[in-house]
Structure 1
Amino acid sequence: MTSAFPIAFAGSPIDRADNLRADPDALAGLMNWKARVLKLDGLIPSLDDRNRLEWGTLADVSEDAELVFLGLDRSDGGERACFAAVPDRGDASPRMANPQLWALMATLEPGDLATYGGARSLVDWHARHRFCAQCGQGTKATKGGWQRNCESCSTQHFPRTDPVTIMLVEHEGRLMLGRGKGWPEGAFSALAGFVEPGETIEEAVQREVFEESGIRARDVQYVASQPWPFPSQLMIGCHSYTDSDELTIDYTEMAEVIFFTREEVVSSLDGDGPFRAPPRHAIASNLMRWWLEKTK
């Protein structure tokens, strides 16, 4: 694919400058008066009066703050290093964004949303991984915050990204969508699930679809992907077909699974249909819009 619709949390204008991460002298040289530090209240971004991400300077953070190097900003013709400070604690419920954050995300322009998403995932990982999974002793950030080393057993730890498949299933011109257990009444989205060890993307799609709906998916096609910073997932968007619409729903995970017509998907995305569609910054919305273009 790819989606003709912008993918939220993708496309940060900041150059990650990976070549500088392993050079402590170069990183130290970037920590000057020009350096910018992303302003966060815990993990919530601060916005200026233009609804842009607010940046401070190194003078705005304490001397003992743990900083991660986000990369280089060259947007104004110069070159400024960008950092973010690790909060005291990570997100207690990292798979969900709170209502305040949903509202803020709806106002951010795409480049800022992508920059925030990457920074959030990284600093949240640091805040929740201060101790070694191997021996339980303390770890210390290195390589500009893109690695943590155990000070006791020398185990190296790296920021994790969990692959998740999220998929459309089509049957005779209708789209299968689901409402997860505990979701608001009327809210439907594409089925999704984590890729398990030893699985291909295609196998994960087929397994998750069958587990949640009893449907056998075939002809799995990759469509698009999205970094999702709650806490740090790569959403792998796919499309598939099925030869049957006979459902066997797993009610421990799903409240409802329904096949919707093209017209119902169109009206729901427009806000006037039989179900509440996913927000635009969720890849499920991109997948539905892609499908509508595909089936014109």
Structure 2
Amino acid sequence: MSAFDSFPLGQPAFITHILDRAAHLRADEQKLLTLEGHRDARAYVVYRDSLVVKQEARGPRALLTLDEALTFGANPGTIFLGLRGGAAVFGMGISAAAAEKLLTRSDVAVTELRGMAMQGVVPPDQLSAIATAKSMVTWHQRHGFCANCGTRSAMTQGGWKRDCPNCKTEHFPRTDPVVIMLVTSGDKCLLGRQKQFPHGMWSCLAGFVEVAETIEDAVRREIFEESGIRCTDVTYYMTQPWPYPSSLMIGCSARATNEDIVVDRTELEDARWFDRDEATLMLKRQHPDGLAGPHPFAIAHHLLGRWVHASSNLPG
């Protein structure tokens, strides 16, 4: 099975939930300590955008025993992600110094998550839990002090809350909503390029939802700001958690009411219309000019693939 086969249409990365989040256990410190001490407990160890993995003959293993995680230098504070088959799964961070020490070892690696996911190295059914671990570890690393009074806050509720001992403010992890959309005009779709994209890659336009803004308004605003295209008939498709650092990609489609593109060069390197034949070749990685669509692990691929598939099944 290829990496592309790991993410069939409608199933991008980070959406398959195989954990019972067991939120009722988060306030039971004694129960969590018992689960953490059980030999079946496991952990994902996150370092920035990478995972600490155990190198084995059959490939890297991301799900570590807690003894392995601590031996590798992971921080002792654990975030309770949930239960898998009754066994607890935790998320753990690791310092830069400890991660650097691992680089000299042959039995362990610190490997970038996105690359492993795109290559199918990590089983797709583990990616949701890994995304949770990565987002939560990053949140704790960035929010160690109370935003209200500046006092060092403390992790509580199995890692799902931080409490300020001074002003008693409670802090909870956040997810940033992002709209990502495929805009079409008849048999054409609008795609854009950012400077950091791989050579030849084009993808759907996207942007953060602003304060007090609806999803529909965000879609229309972002499309117009980045490409000068006005659109209507905004419809929802699906969402994808995106742990960079902690977003929720809200997949939508919309219909353009004009076709004259005016690219915002501060946001995009370029934007252009593609017909359905070109889009099909790009998804298959068969475009004669080497152009390609987004990788199947990203929701953008599935927005484009759904449009191509629906168009190919139209009568006549």
Name the TM-score, length of structure 1 as normaliser.
0.88
Matched, 1:80 2:61: no
Q: How many aligned positions are there?
A: 282
Q: Give the 3 Å change call, closer, same or farther, for CA 286–119 of structure 1 in structure 2.
A: same
**Identity within the alignment, %:** 39
Stretch of structure 1 that moved more, 101-110 or 240-249: 101-110
Whether the 8 Å CA contact 1:72–1:82 is kept in 2: the answer is yes
Match runs of 1:66-105 below 5 Å: 66-74=77-85, 79-88=86-95, 100-105=112-117
Q: 1:39 to 1:185 in 2, by over 3 A?
A: closer
Question: What RMSD, in angstroms, separates the aligned Cα atoms of the two structures?
Answer: 2.2
Partner Cα distance (2:279, 2:154) in 1: 49
Task: Name 2:11's counterpart in structure 1.
Answer: 6
Distance 2:158 2:124 in 1: 25
Q: Deviations over 1:189-242 (max 9, x none)?
A: 100000001111000000000000111110000011100011010000000001
| 1:128-152 Cα shifts (integer Å, max 9, x gaps) | 2111111111011000000011122
- Which whole-Å CA distance do the structure 2 matches of 1:289 and 1:264 have between them? 12
User: In structure 2, how many angstroms separate the alpha carbons of the residues matched to 1:58 and 1:184?
Assistant: 39
2:305 pairs with 277, 289, 292, which one?
A: 289
Q: How does 1:255-266 map to 2 (within 5 A)?
A: 255-266=269-280
Counterparts of 2:146 and 2:46, CA distance in 1: 26
Deviation of 1:35 after TM superposition, in Å, equals 4.3
After the TM superposition, which parts of structure 1 deviate over 6 Å for at least 4 consecutive aligned residues? none
Q: Kindly provide the CA deviation profile for residues 126-177 of structure 1, in whole angstroms up to 9, marking residues without a partner as x.
A: 1121111111110110000000111221111111100000000000110000
Give the aligned residue type for 1:54: L
> Is it true that 1:34 corresponds to 2:39 in the alignment?
yes
**C-alpha offsets along residues 113-136 of structure 1, whole Å, 9 cap, x if unaligned?**
222111111111111211111111
Give the equivalent residue in structure 2 for 1:280.
Answer: 296
Which letter does structure 1 place at the counterpart of 2:76? A
Q: Which moved more, 1:177-186 or 1:188-197?
A: 177-186
Q: Which runs of 5+ in 2 are unaligned?
A: 1-7, 97-109
The one-letter code of the counterpart of 2:38 is W
Residue 73 of structure 1: CA displacement?
1.1
Letter paired with 1:33: H
Task: Write the letter of the residue equivalent to 1:101.
Answer: L
